[in-house]
Every structure is written in structure tokens, then in C-alpha cells.
Amino acid sequence: MSLPSGPAPAPRVDTSPKVADEVKCTTCYMCACRCGIRVHLQGDKVRYIEGNPDHPINRGVLCAKGSAGIMQHTSPARLRKPLLRVGERGAGEFREIEWDEALEVATGWLGETRRTDPSRLAFFTGRDQSQSMTGWWAKQYGTLNYAAHGGFCSVNMAAAGLYTIGGSFWEFGEPDWDHTRYLLLFGVAEDHDSNPIKMGLGRLKTRGDAKFVSINPTRTGYSAIADEWIGIRPGTDGLFVGALIHELLRAEQIDWDYLARYTNAPWLVIQAPGDAQDGRFARTADGDPLCYDGKRQALRRASDADASPRLVGACDLPSGHRAVPAFQLLAARFLNRRYAPETVAAATGIPATQIRRIAAEIAEAAFRQQIELDIPWTDWAGRRHDKMIGRPVSMHAMRGISAHSNGFHTCRMIHMLQMLLGTIDVPGGFRYKPPFPRPCPPGPKPSGPAAGPDTPLDGMPLGFPTGPEDLLVTADGTPQRLDKAFSWEYPLAAHGMMQMVIRNAWAGDPYPIDVLFLYMANMGWNSAMNVPETLRYLTDKNEDGSYRIPKIIYSDAYYSETVPYADLVLPDTTYLERWDCISLLDRPICSAEGPADSIRHPVVKPDRDVRPFQDVLIELGARLQLPGFAKEDGSPAYPGGYPDYMANHERAPGIGPLAGWRGDGTSHGRGAPNPDQLQRYIDNGSFWQHHLPPEQTYYKHANGPYLTYAQKMGWIPNADQIVMQLYAEPLQKFRLAARGHGDRQPPEALRARIERYFDPLPIWYPPFEEDSFAGTDFPLHAVTQRPMHMYHSWGGQNAWLRQITARNRLFVHANTAATLGLVDDDWVWVISPYGRVKGQIKLMHGVNPNTVWTWNAIGKRKGTWGLDNDAPEATKGFLLNHIISELLPARADGYRYANADPVTGQAAWYDLRVRLEKCATADAGETAPRFAALPPMPGRTAPPVLRYGADFDRRPVGTSSDDHLEWVGNRRENAATGSGVRPGHGNRTDISTK
Ligand code: SF4
């Protein structure tokens, strides 16, 4: 008898079966993260998308959105051909036209406007990733009315960071995931920086020696795996952070050395109330800020490397003024009882004991768990340091902070906390991603006014004012831009104010326009505040029957809610059919370890008569004979379209859209255009990356070799140390103007506003809506977030992603619901001061009790996005946008400001206040308001059911040995036994478009 020989060997499973004829590497565009993807192709069809394991952003990780790119690419909502409106605007009645006619019409409209007044073109793009090119086009056209969607997304985050630390959270910096011991994540929804944050949190949680604290009104996504969730009341983060600062200052748990070396904490601030120099820095005759050297008992240049600056204590200046270090002013502010934990507890909903404990934990991590890396480095002054020493507390913040009318100052306050702890670009802290940090305050200035007919601007339309002299206003203070960015109302509107464009164009406020040109921005729906009014603005007419917004050109890839409101539609491609440039001039894919950029290239050919928008823009530029787009002889400068531009355009000598393989292919950053450059990118997986040597990877703001490298790359004008700005002098310059100093002062009605909000130190004030409706019947905050598996309105039409979420609910805390007499699944009216919208509720406990929330951009208008009219997105999905006003209540004289941050013009989406009322039984079941169904997309032929992938099984039916297998979901199984899964067979989706 033979003995058993042990367990049978495990069957070999092929985990990566060959599923395609060919694999092409490009860059995902299912959200803004720009992960690398490998697209498996069978014949001319996409069979499968996987993450590129070599790619610096995602290292092979792919999210649900990324893998569902196939459904984006095959969406029945894809536009098929250029369209010219034939019916009334908004009726969706179009004639399909050829590209020649489309380009002729566009050139005619744009050319006529440019010949008369280029400012009467408003050119606004959405979440596209080619803003360095579109902005340059606007500059060459000559209109200052250009911006992308940052004004309603995250400009508070960007501006506060750039004016404070020369960098920003957003996607321009990251926690030191490998070394941090304490991570504070403020208001970050799970869609933001999606794969990088997920991967980082995975690393951090796996290490087991770090604590992750999420401060967010809702406990979803990232917050759900936090070690501690702080369900803060929306709009009060500044109070919470202020209280942490209060506690750390009180306990002197701050990094004095870091403040003295790397920030303007020691810079002397003149104290002379009533004087034009009050609140300005004391400077040398040649403009260098001064500090007081405690060792030498004398004034010194703050930039002197051997200075021993004092951080407290007044001194006298040769001018006769008194001055104190900036730090002293900051300490006085935050040691005030106004920021004591007990004072802020009720407003934030966070008990004082918890605030104190968090402050103590932060101090413990920062000062008792110091990190030392054995990496010698050299600072800007040539001093050698043996080690890199860091305080391992990191922070990251995003839209939950940004989208409030107090977001700029709140974000600045978070940066204060980082500086006080000494945790910026040190081991374990927050790290800059090149090309940041940049000089602080930032440059360049916004360009304007328009130079006149047929003339380019002398600079880019967007920029960074550093004082009243940089505002775009006329002599009487009237805004020069249509959106009123860079005016006295919103002086630091660095990303423009896209949310105001349609309203102001309709109102002719401050002036009417001729052409509204939009790209990839669903401004007739989920990218609009106040959708009902926005649709009226788009369709309203003058007495003579002409439209108040005379001409609208729109380019997008899909039949969105905005398309029917255009006069001319230029259909774009999907991201798998196009060239794109993720450029260091724009929003690159760098990491803290070094610069990187990437491309998209067409991996499949369009099967429709569509063209990439960037190609179209380049051709329009040539037809319009814009300088740079047409040669002197009138021929196109980039006859090869966008790839031609990507390889050959030079923004400055040797600096082009792509940094890799320049010149003869051996240099990067600077170098002549290289005809092989794009092929080198393709050969390298569609990205380029440079690894900084270890000694350059931290302290980038003061790291000599890094600063020299950054200068060589053209990112910074010189290799001087970048000094972080605890105290923001540019804000004080606006304040002084409001107090009557200088030759450029705000109109009388705006002086108090500037005085209040242009505080050079961070402040907290209640969000405007909360202030406006205090004591009224709108007790709840209402916020939205994008789900991890969707991105704007794109995701909500994707056949695979719809299987995860095809409708949204309003999430309500169970206790709050109980007090309102609501139970799970009730239908309610969500009522704001401006209107009401109907939705179905879902109870939960992981939400601030004063807050209700929902997923954004799930709700769709009937007839759009290739969905059936009874699709749940159109019948049950809802948008809070319908009840958010783009304007604040009128001030005393009737004027209405934008519902926005008064410093940056950031749209204050999250300031919304509401109450809930249970629907009458007869009203339950469907959302409201519902707008008239739009007619189906012209030329739409897609069947109502999508079937994808079954045809990839090449064996003819009836000849295969697995004929007994049936499709079950996306697998083939023996229906009788449930076994028989066939790996390697194509996915199949069998979902109705309902
Ligand atoms: S995180 Fe964004 S870019 Fe990355 S795979 Fe997902 S959708 Fe694509």
C-alpha cells in the first residue's frame, strides 16, 4: 500500500493571460490624476485597460474609473459631427455640418470680434489639461476674458498656498507618506488625487506607526479608514486650526529655528497706525526686509545668512517708526481667547478636550518623534548639514476647505500651523512637488487691459497681483474682466471666476460680449450655480429678438446638458483618440522625488467625424492669423496640429511643453525642439521622469543645489532662498489702499470689505451664507462630494460606473432625521433661501449632525448623455446646484456680490444652508425640479442596450468545448453548477441605458 504523498501541487493559474494583439501605453483621463495606463487592443478595439506598473503616479494601480475608460470611449453619448443650431437655443435642434463649415463659422464669429474688440470674446475652459496652451491662445487672440474651472474648484487652495509657502496642497505637494507619523487630512473628498492618496494611505496604514486624522463633515472614503474622524461643522475648520495654533503657542510647542530660518516670522512689521507704511515690512533702501539681530543688538538684512533674528520684541527704525517681528503679531492674534478650544468648541462641534488632545498629539509627533535621515545637504548659503531632520507631521487639504467664502484664510491658517511646527518640505512633513516651490508672493501679474483690435495681450490673462497697482480695473474702479476677477471685489482671483461668466455676459455687467466660447465645462448643468437662472441667461433675448449672449461656441466630447444651448458645437474626441500634453508649464505629474511630465497619444482612431479640441484651436489660431499660430507668410505655424505644437512650440528659448528628451535627446528641461521627442515618450510608456539626487529631495525652499537646478530648468528666476510668508504683505497693501493711501484706491462702497478681508494674518469669519441667514429657518449645511468612482458628469453616464451608482441620495444623520420626523428612504424637499429640490434620503451616522450631503453630478437632465428619459439619473438623481445662488443677498444699496470668497473669488459651493421638509406622499418617487426633456442627440443611433466584449471570444459559437457555459455578469459559468469560470474571456456588459 502506498502512503499519500502530501497535498497535490496547486494548479498553475495564469494571472496575466494574453488578451490582446497589442498593448499601448498612454495616460488615463477618467479623472485629474493622470495615471499611466496600458491599453490592450484587439484589432481596432480596446479590450482591456490596466495600470502601468512603471508609471510614477500610480505604479500599476488602476481605479474603477480608470478601468471603465472603455465605456467612456464607447459611450452612446459621444458627439459624432459638428452641429449648427437651427431651432431656438436650448431646444436641441441642430443641423449636422462638415468641419469646413464649422471652422468657417467659428473663424467668422471670432475674427469679427477680434477686429472690433477682442475683450468681447469670453473663452473659458473646464477641467481640461491644456491650460498653458489655451491660455496662450487667449493671449495671442487678445482677450483677457479667459480662465479655466479653478475659480469654482480650488483657487482658494492654490492662491493661499502660493502666496504663503510658494507651493500648494492640491496636487502640487504631498505628505511624506513613508516617514510621516501624524497625518491631518482636511476636507479631502475621495475623488481628489485619487490613486496617489489611496496608495499613500495604504502605505501609511500598513506601517502601523502613524496616526491618520481626517477632518471632514462626512465619514466616507478616506475618512472611513481614518484612525480618528473629526466630523467638523462645515466652514469652521479655521476655528479648529486656530485653536490648535493657540494651544501650540501656549505650550511653546513650535519650531523656533525653522521659523527664523525659513519664514518671514522675524521680518519687522512697521507699527504706525494712520501712516502709509503701517503694516508694511521695514526694508533697506534697496528693498531688502529687515530683522532685528538679537546677538548684535542691531537691525540686519533678514537675508543675511549669519543673522540671529529675534522673533519677539519691538525696536525703533531709522525712519522713526516702531516695528515688531511678524511672529509677534501672529502670536498675539492666536493667543487671543477667541481661538481658545473652549471658545471654538460649540461652533466647530469639536469638544475642547478633543482639540487639546489633538494639539498634544501633534506636538508629541513633531517634537518627540523627530526624523533624521543620514543625507548630508547644502543650503542656499552654502552651509553644509550632516543630516536631514524633520518633524513628521503632515497635512493635506482640498475642496472642503477651499469651497467656502472663508476658504482662503482657512487654507492660509493651515499653512501657518505647518510653519509653526516646521513641517514643510522636511522628512515626515508636507513635501513640495517640482516645479514648486516658487517665489512667494508668486508671479507673474495678470495681463490687461486689452491692447485693442487685432492685438495680443502683452502677457498671460491670469496671474498673481501683489498690490492694487496690479488690478484690472478702470480709473473709476470698474472691473476690466467680464468675470470681475482681479477687481476690487475679488483682487486675488488667480484662476478667474468661471462661475460668473454666463451671468455677467447676460447682464452685460460690466459690459456685453459677442462670443462665449466654452470647452469641456458643463455650465448648463452641474458646473453652474443656480441652474434654472443659468438656463434663462443662456436663452434670454433682447427686445429685437436677438439673444442677450449673441453667440455661443461649445466643444465637448459628449452630449451633455450644455450642448443644446450652443449655437455651434465642435465635437471633441475621447482621451484614447487624442494627443495631450501633461506639461510642466501647466499641471504636471511630478512627485516630491523629482519632475515628470507625460503625454497622451491616440491608441485608437475615432470612428466619428470628430477632432481633438486642441487641434481645432490651433487651426482656428492659424485661420485667424494669430501671432504664433500663423507664420509671417500666413501659413500655419503648426500644420501638424497639437503633436506638432507639443514637440516644436517654445514658450521661452529652449523651453517647450515637454521637458524630456530635448535637443539631441540627451537633455531635459531646456533644449532645442527634438523631432524624435514624442516617439521617445511613447517608447518610455508616455512619460518622462527625472529623479532628484537624495540631497535635493527635501528643504527645496532653501536647498542650494535644488534651487540652482530649478533655476536652470526655468522654474524660478534665481536660486535665492524662497522665504515662506507667515505675514502676507500684499494683503496689507490692499488694506492700506482701503484706508486711503496710495494713488489707486477702492471705490467707497468697497473700502470696508477690503479692510476686513485683506488681513495680512489669517482670520476666521463665518461663511457668508451662514452670516446672511443666521437665525432664519435654514439650520443645516448642505455639501456635495464626488464619489471615488466618478469624475464630474462624465462618470455618471458611464455604463459600468452607473452600475455602482445610478442615482444619488441625500445623506442625513439618523438623529437629525429623527428630530425632523424623517425615516430612511423618505422623500424630502431640500429648501434653500433660493429654491427647493426633491430627493430621497438615506440615514447614516458618519456625518456631522448639522450637515446633509449628497454625491455630485449624478443627476442628469432627461434626453442627455445618451440615457433614456426614464434613467434613474434623470428621474431620481438630483443636483444641489439648483438651489445654490451665484450671487449673495443684496447689500444695502442693492448690489449683489458673487457667492464667493472675497479675496480670491472662489465659488462658495459649500456655504449652502438648507432645511428639510418631508414630501407629501403623492410627491414622492421622482425628483424635482425637472426640466423639459431635451431631444436625443442628433445622429444618435446607439441601441438601448450596450453589449461589450462578447465578440472578443474568437471561437465560433457551436465549436467551442465550453458551449455549456453561460454568461453570468462578466464571466462564463456553468449555470447549473456555478463553476467553469473562464479566465481571459472578454468582459461583457449587458446593461440597459436606463
Ligand atoms: S485615479 Fe484617475 S487617472 Fe488614475 S486610474 Fe483612476 S481615473 Fe484614471
Task: Using alpha carbons, select from 911, 913, 908 the residue that is nearest to residue 151.
Answer: 908
Number of other CB atoms surrounding residue 53 within 10 Å: 12
3-state SS, one letter per residue, for 753-799: HHHHHCCCCCCCCCCHHHHHCCCCCCCEEEEEECCCCCCHHHHCCCC
Place of cell 543688538: 297
Report residue 914: phi and psi, to 5°.
Answer: -145, 170
Confidence (pLDDT) at 189: 80
Residue 793: pLDDT band (50, 70, 90) is confident
* 195, 576, 790, best to mutate for ligand 1 pocket (most atoms within 8 Å of CB): 195
Distances in whole angstroms, Cα of residue 418 to Cα of each of 56, 363, 391, 413? 27, 12, 10, 9
Of 186-200, 355-369, 673-687, where does mean pLDDT reach its minimum? 186-200
Q: Cβ(868)–Cβ(882) under 8 Å?
A: no
Report whether pLDDT(951) > 60.
Answer: yes
Report residue 657: phi and psi, to 5°.
Answer: -60, -35
User: Which three three-digit cell numbers place residue 250?
Assistant: 501656549
| Cβ of 66 less than 6 Å from ligand 1 | yes
Report whether pLDDT(960) > 80.
Answer: no
Report whether pLDDT(435) > 60.
Answer: yes
Instruction: Please give the distance, rounded to the nearest whole angstrom, from the Cα atom of residue 428 to the centre of ligand 1.
Output: 26
User: Which three three-digit cell numbers place residue 739?
Assistant: 484706508
Place of cell 499601448: 24
Report whether pLDDT(990) > 80.
Answer: no
Report whether pLDDT(921) > 50.
Answer: yes
Whole-number Å distance between alpha carbons of 796 and 856: 9
| Cβ of 790 less than 6 Å from ligand 1 | no
Rg (CA), the chain: 29
Number of other CB atoms surrounding residue 13 within 10 Å: 7
- Number of the ligand 1 atom closest to the C-alpha atom of 62: 5
Residue nearest to atom 2 of ligand 1 (CA): 31
Instruction: Please give the distance, rounded to the nearest whole angstrom, from the Cα atom of residue 68 to the centre of ligand 1.
Output: 10
User: Which three three-digit cell numbers place residue 45?
Assistant: 478595439
DSSP state, residue 745 = -
Place of cell 516702531: 322
| Cβ of 33 less than 6 Å from ligand 1 | yes
Percent of the chain with pLDDT over 90: 85
What is the torsion angle, in degrees rounded to the nearest 10, for the CA atoms of residue 230, residue 236, residue 241 and residue 243?
-100
Phi/psi region, residue 80 (left: phi>0; alpha: psi -120 to 50; beta: rest), is alpha
Instruction: Please give the distance, rounded to the nearest whole angstrom, from the Cα atom of residue 801 to the centre of ligand 1.
Output: 13
Residue 129: pLDDT band (50, 70, 90) is confident
- Number of the ligand 1 atom closest to the C-alpha atom of 27: 3
Confidence (pLDDT) at 980: 43
Instruction: Please give the distance, rounded to the nearest whole angstrom, from the Cα atom of residue 190 to the centre of ligand 1.
Output: 12
Which residues lie below 8 Å from residue 245, measured CB to CB, with a gap of 6+? 334, 339, 413, 416, 417, 420
Instruction: Please give the distance, rounded to the nearest whole angstrom, from the Cα atom of residue 978 to the centre of ligand 1.
Output: 33
| Cβ of 58 less than 6 Å from ligand 1 | yes
Task: Using alpha carbons, select from 845, 867, 855, 872 the residue that is nearest to residue 809.
Answer: 855
Instruction: Please give the distance, rounded to the nearest whole angstrom, from the Cα atom of residue 627 to the centre of ligand 1.
Output: 36
Report whether pLDDT(14) > 80.
Answer: no
* 27, 30, 789, best to mutate for ligand 1 pocket (most atoms within 8 Å of CB): 30
- Number of the ligand 1 atom closest to the C-alpha atom of 196: 1
Percent of the chain with pLDDT over 70: 94
Q: State in Å, rounded, how far the first CA of the chain is from the last one.
A: 65
| Cβ of 31 less than 6 Å from ligand 1 | yes
Place of cell 485653536: 243
Which residues lie below 8 Å from residue 8, measured CB to CB, with a gap of 6+? none
Instruction: Please give the distance, rounded to the nearest whole angstrom, from the Cα atom of residue 397 to the centre of ligand 1.
Output: 19
| Cβ of 122 less than 6 Å from ligand 1 | no
* 29, 48, 52, 63, best to mutate for ligand 1 pocket (most atoms within 8 Å of CB): 63
Report whether pLDDT(463) > 70.
Answer: yes
| Cβ of 198 less than 6 Å from ligand 1 | no
Whole-number Å distance between alpha carbons of 917 and 930: 18
Task: Using alpha carbons, select from 698, 171, 168, 711 the residue that is nearest to residue 442.
Answer: 168
- Number of the ligand 1 atom closest to the C-alpha atom of 37: 5
Number of other CB atoms surrounding residue 423 within 10 Å: 29
| Cβ of 195 less than 6 Å from ligand 1 | yes
Instruction: Please give the distance, rounded to the nearest whole angstrom, from the Cα atom of residue 733 to the centre of ligand 1.
Output: 42
Task: Using alpha carbons, select from 246, 417, 232, 414 the residue that is nearest to residue 340.
Answer: 246
DSSP state, residue 186 = E
- Number of the ligand 1 atom closest to the C-alpha atom of 65: 7
Report whether pLDDT(506) > 90.
Answer: yes
Confidence (pLDDT) at 299: 98
Residue range 403-423: mean pLDDT, rounded? 98
3-state SS, one letter per residue, for 214-279: EECCECCHHHHHCCEEECCCCCCHHHHHHHHHHHHHHCCCCCHHHHHHHECCCCEEEECCCCCCCC
Task: Using alpha carbons, select from 99, 153, 92, 108 the residue that is nearest to residue 126.
Answer: 153
Residue 19: pLDDT band (50, 70, 90) is confident
Residue range 817-831: mean pLDDT, rounded? 98
- Number of the ligand 1 atom closest to the C-alpha atom of 67: 5
| Cβ of 34 less than 6 Å from ligand 1 | yes
Report whether pLDDT(958) > 70.
Answer: no
Q: What is the mean pLDDT of the chain?
A: 93
Residue range 660-672: mean pLDDT, rounded? 97
| Cβ of 35 less than 6 Å from ligand 1 | yes
Number of other CB atoms surrounding residue 532 within 10 Å: 14
Q: Is the peptide bond before 983 cis (omega within 30 degrees of 0)?
A: no
Distances in whole angstroms, Cα of residue 720 to Cα of each of 326, 764, 876, 901, 972? 21, 33, 57, 32, 64
- Give long-range contacts, CB 8 A cutoff, 24+ apart: 626-630: 626/137, 626/140, 626/141, 626/456, 627/140, 627/456, 628/136, 628/140, 629/137, 629/140
Q: Which amino acid does the sequence have at 483?
A: D
Report whether pLDDT(959) > 70.
Answer: no
Instruction: Please give the distance, rounded to the nearest whole angstrom, from the Cα atom of residue 578 to the centre of ligand 1.
Output: 17
Residue 31, CB-side half-sphere exposure with 13 Å CA sphere = 28
Q: Which amino acid does the sequence have at 344?
A: V
Report whether pLDDT(634) > 60.
Answer: yes
Whole-number Å distance between alpha carbons of 699 and 707: 10
DSSP state, residue 63 = -
| Cβ of 323 less than 6 Å from ligand 1 | no
pLDDT digits (tens, 9 = 90+) for 36-92: 999 999 988 999 999 999 999 999 999 999 999 999 999 989 999 999 999 999 999
Which residues lie below 8 Å from residue 202, measured CB to CB, with a gap of 6+? none
Q: What sections of 508-629 are H helices per DSSP?
A: 531-539, 613-623
Residue 972: pLDDT band (50, 70, 90) is low
Q: Which amino acid does the sequence have at 112?
A: E
pTM: 0.94
Residue nearest to atom 5 of ligand 1 (CA): 66
Instruction: Please give the distance, rounded to the nearest whole angstrom, from the Cα atom of residue 302 to the centre of ligand 1.
Output: 45
Which residues lie below 8 Å from residue 390, measured CB to CB, with a gap of 6+? 176, 179, 370, 371, 372, 373, 423, 426, 427, 428, 429, 698
Taking the alpha carbons of 649, 655, 656, 659 in that order, is the dihedral positive or negative? positive
Distances in whole angstroms, Cα of residue 889 to Cα of each of 537, 886, 896? 19, 10, 6
Instruction: Please give the distance, rounded to the nearest whole angstrom, from the Cα atom of residue 399 to the centre of ligand 1.
Output: 18
Confidence (pLDDT) at 818: 98
* 25, 52, 61, 62, best to mutate for ligand 1 pocket (most atoms within 8 Å of CB): 62
Task: Using alpha carbons, select from 576, 586, 458 the residue that is nearest to residue 134.
Answer: 586
* 25, 50, 194, best to mutate for ligand 1 pocket (most atoms within 8 Å of CB): 194
Of 169-178, 257-266, 334-343, where does mean pLDDT reach its minimum? 169-178
Report whether pLDDT(975) > 60.
Answer: no
Report residue 165: phi and psi, to 5°.
Answer: -125, 5
3-state secondary structure of 347: helix
Residue 5, burial from CB neighbour count under 10 angstroms (0-12, 13-18, 19+): exposed
Report whether pLDDT(911) > 60.
Answer: yes
Residue 955: pLDDT band (50, 70, 90) is very low
Confidence (pLDDT) at 792: 78
Q: Cβ(727)–Cβ(267) under 8 Å?
A: yes
| Cβ of 760 less than 6 Å from ligand 1 | no
Confidence (pLDDT) at 965: 56
| Cβ of 120 less than 6 Å from ligand 1 | no
* 65, 129, 191, 790, best to mutate for ligand 1 pocket (most atoms within 8 Å of CB): 65
Residue nearest to atom 4 of ligand 1 (CA): 35
| Cβ of 194 less than 6 Å from ligand 1 | yes
451 vs 264, which has greater pLDDT? Answer: 264
Confidence (pLDDT) at 3: 54
Instruction: Please give the distance, rounded to the nearest whole angstrom, from the Cα atom of residue 194 to the centre of ligand 1.
Output: 7
Residue 954: pLDDT band (50, 70, 90) is low
Whole-number Å distance between alpha carbons of 26 and 573: 15
3-state secondary structure of 86: coil
Residue nearest to atom 8 of ligand 1 (CA): 66
pLDDT digits (tens, 9 = 90+) for 300-326: 999 999 999 999 999 999 999 999 999
Q: Cβ(686)–Cβ(25) under 8 Å?
A: yes
| Cβ of 30 less than 6 Å from ligand 1 | yes
Task: Using alpha carbons, select from 416, 402, 349 the residue that is nearest to residue 761.
Answer: 416
Residue 123: which H helix or E strand, with range?
strand 121-125
Instruction: Please give the distance, rounded to the nearest whole angstrom, from the Cα atom of residue 786 to the centre of ligand 1.
Output: 14
**Cα–Cα–Cα angle for 182, 188, 192, rounded to 5 degrees:** 115
Q: Cβ(796)–Cβ(838) under 8 Å?
A: no
| Cβ of 600 less than 6 Å from ligand 1 | no
Whole-number Å distance between alpha carbons of 394 and 415: 11
Of 10-19, 242-251, 420-429, 822-831, where does mean pLDDT reach its minimum? 10-19
Q: Which amino acid does the sequence have at 584?
A: L
Confidence (pLDDT) at 190: 79
Task: Using alpha carbons, select from 854, 840, 857 the residue that is nearest to residue 780.
Answer: 854
Task: Using alpha carbons, select from 348, 313, 182, 331 the residue that is nearest to residue 246.
Answer: 331
User: Strand (E) positions, 550-695?
Assistant: 551-556, 568-571, 580-582, 596-600, 687-689
